[in-house]
Structure 1
Amino acid sequence: MTVAAMSNDPIREWILSEGNSTQITRISSVGGGCINLASRYDTDAGSFFVKTNRSIGPSMFEGEALGLGAMYDTRTIRVPRPYKVGSLPTGGSFIIMEFIEFGVSRGDQSVLGTKLAEMHKAGKSEKGFGFDVNNTIGSTPQINRWASDWIQFYGEHRLGYQLKLAREQYGDNSIYEKGQRLVKSMGPLFEDVVVEPCLLHGDLWSGNISSDKNGKPVILDPACYYGHNEAEFGMSWCAGFGGSFYSSYFKVMPKQPGFEKRRDLYMLYHYLNHYNLFGSGYRSSAMSIIDDYLRMLKP
């Protein structure tokens, strides 16, 4: 079927001009997202992947596009190439990107580990820790203000921000106060560690990991920033990383002293975010991590 021309449609206008297409042959819905609507636009010049959101302005998609572009520019792991972000005339926004034909599995864990480590090694920032724009983790704002000190950045803009949200949203003074004690006392976890600002996907769980039709790993829907490479494993509780993933990763990015002691610290950010997004079912996991660290560090 040939889709009829629609007036004042910026998605169609871009595809038929800068997208080098002369005809859109089919538009079909793509499932999987819970925040945005996703569609596949088939044309005589290939296919495009389009996400739209009728209630949010273009800043969210601008952050995604900058993250995808930064990862794409490392020429390491495959990500969808971003093409265009804009506003919809009826309100809301859109992003157009490369359409990748996914394979039947998530691909080889060993290759994923290698490619992710290569991205971390290649993507470095001279500005420190942070990103050029704020973005979102799920639908939660993620503050990426530049900082030269990783412990300060992670304590303030990651754990601290989520703890404040929990207090504001649920009146949860207990998790806030205990969490702030942890933030102030977590320095010893980084003794003898060199922390470099590496480009992170930022939200690496199983739903954001796939493979292309050739079996090569693909990562998508990022919440990018420059941070400690170990923070990339913060969603490992629902990412399914196996032994071959980690062994391949550490061949490229060697494991640093105290890695195991810091793993839960990076999971805590995502448990807190899930608590703020989805409710009390995630509170006990977050509080358990905080309590364990407070016993270990004895602040």
Structure 2
Amino acid sequence: MTSREAVRAVERHVGATPGHTYALGGDAVLVSLSRGGQVVAKRGAGANAARAEAAGLRWLAEHGDVPLPGVHGYDEQWLVMDYVAPGAPSTAAAEEFGRGLAALHLRGAPAFGAPPPDGPADAWMGLAPMRNEPHDDWASFYARHRIEPYVRSAVEQGLFSEDHAAVFDDVCARLPELAGPPEPPARLHGDAWSGNVHWAADGRAWLIDPASYGGHRETDLAMLGLFGTPLLEHILGAYAEAARDAGTPLAEGWRDRTDLHQLFPLLVHAVLFGSGYARQAVAAARRALRA
């Protein structure tokens, strides 16, 4: 059923006759076109998911800082975009990616929590709902929309005790001091774990599957470190150098704040996948308070 629906989505949004299909995992389908070439049809996790991802892809690709798949179209269920053939990681690609990511972040956003242009306020982080709502400062946004909703959900699921929840309450209360020096809102990918850094056959590292919003640039960097992105130190080194050359160096102690910025993805994984991630989230929160 998914393949047939994907084919119909490609017919609607590409205007070409689909050929063979190949399941890529989840609800993504690779569709060959009779005229040549291939596209990916991806079914969204829920309401607004395809719209949110399409808006993020276009926003992040606006200046060409980092390559992203082009969007052919979307509807209530499906997003159709370019297929990017996979390749192998390389040092050159990692360093180019780090420099590009620094430039991308510096494109900025209207506010912390602002969605991409034409992006919905109610979006998605993978399979979890995510609220994008503009705030004047990062600490209040991060507490209200990136920590507290998922802590409540984890408590309701029995993953956190009240004592565990109190650790996150402490983090939220101290966020203004824990966050480091104030920064302007950055243009974030928002879900920059290793699986969304796509090493391509063209020798570059592409970004895919964004959950974009205006946020703190250290959040994307922390996500890169969460699940073992290849050649991470080359990426971070090139990023730091490019940011410094642009006159916007990373604030002192940014590596010490990694746990703080990893709380959001760890909490999302906890509510989606259970107790192992819940324990990691509590441990990260405690380390953040000691940093």
Please give the residue correspondences for 1:1-299 in structure 2 after superposition, counting only pairs within 5 Å. Answer: 9-16=8-15, 21=16, 23-24=17-18, 26-31=19-24, 33-34=25-26, 36-44=27-35, 46-52=37-43, 57-87=46-76, 93-105=77-89, 108-122=93-107, 124-131=108-115, 132-133=119-120, 134-170=122-158, 172=160, 173-191=162-180, 193-235=181-223, 236-240=225-229, 242-253=232-243, 254-295=249-290
Task: Note the alpha carbon deviations across 1:32-55, whole angstroms, 9 max, x for none.
Answer: x33x232223231532211135xx
Give the direction of change, closer, same or farther, for the CA distance of 1:142–1:57 in structure 2 (3 Å limit).
closer
Give how far 1:274 is off: 1.1
- 1:201–1:232 contact (8 Å) kept in structure 2: yes
The alignment's TM-score, normalised by the length of structure 2, stands at 0.86
Give the structure 2 partner of residue 90 of structure 1.
Answer: none
Instruction: Report the Cα distance in structure 2 between the residues aligned to 1:274 and 1:127, rounded to whole angstroms.
Output: 26
Instruction: Report the Cα distance in structure 2 between the residues aligned to 1:293 and 1:249, rounded to whole angstroms.
Output: 23
- 1:189–1:261 contact (8 Å) kept in structure 2: no
- 1:203–1:222 contact (8 Å) kept in structure 2: yes
Instruction: Report the Cα distance in structure 2 between the residues aligned to 1:9 and 1:283, rounded to whole angstroms.
Output: 40
Task: Note the alpha carbon deviations across 1:230-256, whole angstroms, 9 max, x for none.
Answer: 010232120425222111001122221
Instruction: Report the Cα distance in structure 2 between the residues aligned to 1:106 and 1:43, rounded to whole angstroms.
Output: 33
- 2:14–2:73 contact (8 Å) kept in structure 1: no
5+ long unaligned stretches in structure 2 = 244-248
Task: Note the alpha carbon deviations across 1:186-213, whole angstroms, 9 max, x for none.
Answer: 221234x131111111111121111332
Instruction: Report the Cα distance in structure 1 between the residues aligned to 2:47 and 2:281, rounded to whole angstroms.
Output: 32
The alignment's TM-score, normalised by the length of structure 1, stands at 0.83
Instruction: Report the Cα distance in structure 2 between the residues aligned to 1:239 and 1:62, rounded to whole angstroms.
Output: 29
Give the direction of change, closer, same or farther, for the CA distance of 1:263–1:166 in structure 2 (3 Å limit).
same
- 1:103–1:212 contact (8 Å) kept in structure 2: yes
Partner amino acid, structure 2, of 1:44: R
RMSD: 2.3
Give how far 1:287 is off: 1.3
5+ long unaligned stretches in structure 1 = 88-92
Instruction: Report the Cα distance in structure 2 between the residues aligned to 1:171 and 1:60, rounded to whole angstroms.
Output: 26
Give the direction of change, closer, same or farther, for the CA distance of 1:76–1:177 in structure 2 (3 Å limit).
same
Task: Note the alpha carbon deviations across 1:154-196, whole angstroms, 9 max, x for none.
Answer: 11110112111111222622322221121011221234x1311
Instruction: Report the Cα distance in structure 2 between the residues aligned to 1:196 and 1:155, rounded to whole angstroms.
Output: 17
The secondary structure found in structure 2 opposite 1:170 is coil
Give how far 1:58 is off: 5.0
Task: Note the alpha carbon deviations across 1:103-139, whole angstroms, 9 max, x for none.
Answer: 23477221221111111122x1234433142311121
Give the structure 1 partner of residue 246 of structure 2.
Answer: none
Which of these two proteins has the greater Rg computed from alpha carbons?
1
